[in-house]
Structure formats: structure tokens, C-alpha cells
Amino acid sequence: DAKTTQPPSMDCAEGRAANLPCNHSTISGNEYVYWYRQIHSQGPQYIIHGLKNNETNEMASLIITEDRKSSTLILPHATLRDTAVYYCIVRGPSGSRLTFGEGTQLTVNP
Amino acid sequence: EPEVTQTPSHQVTQMGQEVILRCVPISNHLYFYWYRQILGQKVEFLVSFYNNEISEKSEIFDDQFSVERPDGSNFTLKIRSTKLEDSAMYFCASRTGTGAYNEQFFGPGTRLTVL
């Protein structure tokens, strides 16, 4: 699975959009980009995934660059409950395990 | 909404004792996983289980660890002789079907403390 790089921490004001970047320059053509988050030692929570098209669900949007070497997770209106560690994970279709990196600690401030 | 459950939420044991951590995956899921997270460290994959056998395991999952699906609902992780360094949060996860698009659903975790 391709390696990912994320900033260690970010801050965001409550109600504003949180944009979390991820670099995955070695991603191969059949690998998906997944985002999970972990709120204070709870079990990781799936947010969204994508292959090459932008994706949106009720939690977030995922923007993947055309060359697929980076992506951005967007929380459109961050709340205090979105404070968590966000993990960007690249995984191939035959892969099963999720390999968690250090992630980005997002702190949403009032 | 269906969810993965784990028991107990906190387990305290003496070094050298055996522990069994229990998980009830989501009912129609076919793939089951254990991960662990030592305090302040990354979430680490331990083992995946499909069709009543281990499909993948990490280097952490040595002979002290075993997994079992004793009935149609439970999925257990056994640590045969616990060590101090086994103290961690243990997360169970499950997913349905195959393909990259099937996300894993995690339980709330069991905090294991080895004294």
C-alpha cells in the first residue's frame, strides 16, 4: 500500500470549513484513498473513500487531484465534536488490513 | 444502526495470565479484524479472519495470540500469557463482502491493563 503524508496538526474555527491535506505520491492506479478519524481513543470511524472522482457524503467531501498524488478531506462546517485525529489511508482492492499512520490532529476551536 | 460491540470495556489482569477479549461484529459481515493501540501510539493491525480462518496477520500476532469465532456471532482474541507490553486498547472491526469499497466498522475497544 502506498505511503501517505499528513501534517501533524491543524486548527479550525467552529463553523468554518476544515481542509485536511494528504500526499500519496506513490499511489498506484487501483488503490483507493480512505479517510478515517479517531476521537480520543474511541474506535476509528470511517468517513469517506474515493478512487479518482471527488466524493461527498453526509460527513465530508473528498477532493482527489487529477494525478491522484494528493487529496483533501473537507469538513464543510466544523463543530467541536469534529476534534479528532484524521487518518488518510491508501489501500489496494486486494488489501485487507488498514495501515494507520500518525494522522492529523484537528482541533476545532470555539 | 448496527454496530460492533466489545466486552469488557476494561480488563485488568496480572502478567502471565490468559485473557479473552470478546467482540460481536455486525451480523451480515464476513471479514473480522483485531487492531491494537498502545497509549500514545498508532493503531496497529493484528489479524484478519475470514471463512473461519486467519487470512492475514502481522508480526505482532505471535504464538501468544489466537482468534476464534466460536459461534455465529462472537469473535474473540485470546492472549495466552500476558506481558506488560500487551497493555493497550484492542479494537475489533468487521466489514462485509469484498472489494476496496467496503469500509471497516470498528468497535469501541477494550482497554487491557497488564500489571
pLDDT tens by residue, A28-54: 888 899 999 999 889 999 999 999 989
- Give the chain B residue nearest A85 (alpha carbons): B42
**B68/B47 Cα distance (integer angstroms):** 11
The per-residue b/e assignment along B17-31, b for 16 or more CB within 10 angstroms, e otherwise, is eebebbbbbbeebeb
In degrees and rounded to multiples of 5, residue B45 shows phi and psi of: -70, 135
A46 or A91: which leads in pLDDT: A46
- Give the chain A residue nearest B54 (alpha carbons): A96
Q: What is the pLDDT of residues B8-31, one digit of tens each?
A: 999 999 999 999 999 999 988 999
Position A89 pLDDT exceeds 80: yes
The reply to whether A41 touches chain B by the CB within 8 Å rule is: yes
CB B113 within 8 A of CB B39: no
Neighbours of B68 (CB within 10 A): 13
Q: For testing the chain A interface, which of B103, B105, B113 should be mutated: the one with the most A CBs within 10 Å? A: B103
A2 or B37: which leads in pLDDT: B37
The reply to whether B30 touches chain A by the CB within 8 Å rule is: no
Q: Can you give the pLDDT at residue A84? A: 98
The per-residue b/e assignment along A9-39, b for 16 or more CB within 10 angstroms, e otherwise, is ebebeeeeebebebbbeebeeebbbbbbbbe
**B98/A91 Cα distance (integer angstroms):** 13
CA atoms within 13 A on the CB side of B41: 13
- Give the chain B residue nearest A97 (alpha carbons): B45
Which residue from B58, B101, B106 is facing A49, i.e. has the nearest CB? B101
Sign of the dihedral through C-alpha B105, A72, A63, A92:
negative
Which residue from A41, A96, A102 is facing B56, i.e. has the nearest CB? A96
Q: Can you give the pLDDT at residue A92? A: 76
Residues of B with Cβ-Cβ distance to A85 under 8 angstroms: none
